[in-house]
Structure 1
Amino acid sequence: MGSEYNPVLRLSEAELERNADQGWFESHDAYVGDILKLTRLGCAYTEVAPGKTACPYHVHHAEDEMLVILAGGGDYRFGGKTYKVKAGDVLGAPVGGPEYAHQLINTGTETLKYLVISSKADIDVCEYPDSGKFQVMSRPVQGSHQRRLRYIGRQETSLEYLDGENIGDKS
């Protein structure tokens, strides 16, 4: 008989994976939604050390995000403004353009701990206003973090629609 489904996850016992780890991008995460076998609701538990951030300033085109600060504090960059946040605050990051770009930075002296809850789109586009990049990605294959499609680029390197296609007469 297979293992029994456990609908309860104790965050203090969750196994954390080292995620970002370059310069000031560093986080440790537990993919709560995957652990609880959620199919249309994403959730990650994230820990970020003082002076670090988990990800670049970004905005999703297909996934809303909500961040719930559990411990610590920091700066929430959102749409060109910065908000001081602390434990107990709930942050919104709706789908949109650069006016909804967001990034959470640990400016405190203790580990910043939070949940990121998101709608789960099959395909999403993410913009990165600070670097002028975009990312197109599909949902990861069930049971892994590997995506079927992931492309990061810049608009100025875009190809024409029929680039590489045989546009000759087919008669």
Structure 2
Amino acid sequence: MNEEMFFVLEGEGEMRLGDERHPIRRGDMIACPPSGPESAHQFINTSETDELKVLSVSTRTTPEFVEYPDAGNFGIVAEFGPGADGKPRMFRYVGRDGESRDDWEGNE
């Protein structure tokens, strides 16, 4: 899991952090250390006319494991060294809790 920092560039809204909601506005800086689903966060634009723009900065530790508690999903993202073409290679997977299969299923 990565540490994240957010800076509100424009607008206002709310940040959901676990079960709590906190008002945010332009100029606010928010730090989110690595943790579990109790501190899952989401930005919500509460304006009917203005955009909410947030700059996100993260430590980018790889692989990264992310939980999406509202949906019961998890994600894994890993970056590998460059391929023969010089471009970075990525692995991304989103799964649902409890939906796993045996490593050898179908390889018998």
TM interval, shorter chain, is: 0.7 to 0.9
**Identical counterparts, % of pairs:** 39
Relative contact order, CA 8 A, sep 6+: which one is greater? 2
Q: CA deviation at 1:79?
A: 1.4
Q: Name the TM-score, length of structure 1 as normaliser.
A: 0.53
| Higher normalized helix content (fraction of residues) | 1
Which is richer in strand?
Answer: 2
Deviation at 1:141, TM superposition (A): 6.4
Unaligned runs of 5+ in 1: 1-61, 166-171
TM-score (norm 2): 0.82
SS in 2 for 1:104: strand
Question: Shift of residue 155 of structure 1?
Answer: 2.1
Output one character per residue of 1:96-132: Cα deviation in whole Å (capped at 9) or x when no partner. 1011100001112311122101101121011101100
**SS at 2:90's partner residue?**
coil
In 2, distance between residues paired with 1:158 and 1:96? 23
| 2:29 aligned residue | 90
Alignment of 1:141-152 (within 5 A): 148-152=90-94
Distance 2:51 2:80 in 1: 28
SS of corresponding position for 1:156: coil
Instruction: Kindly name which structure, 1 or 2, has the bigger radius of gyration based on alpha carbons.
Output: 1
- Aligned counterpart in structure 2 of residue 134 of structure 1, from 39, 50, 74: 74
Q: Distance in 2 between matches of 1:159 and 1:96?
A: 27
1:69 aligned partner, one-letter code: V
Q: Which amino acid aligns with 2:37?
A: P
Q: Is the 8 A contact 1:123 1:136 kept in 2?
A: yes
Specify whether residues 133 and 73 from structure 1 end up closer, same or farther in structure 2 by C-alpha distance, changes over 3 A only. Answer: same
Given that residues 93 and 101 in structure 1 are in contact (C-alpha distance below 8 angstroms), is that contact kept between their aligned partners in structure 2?
no
Write the distance in 2 (CA, Å) between the matches of 1:130 and 1:122.
24
In structure 2, the residue matched to 1:78 is 17
In structure 2, the gaps of 5 or more residues are none
**Residue 64 (structure 2) pairs with residue 124 (structure 1):** yes
SS of 1:83's partner is: strand
- In the alignment of these two chains, the number of paired residues is 101
The answer (yes or no) to whether the contact 1:63–1:120 under 8 Å persists in 2 is yes
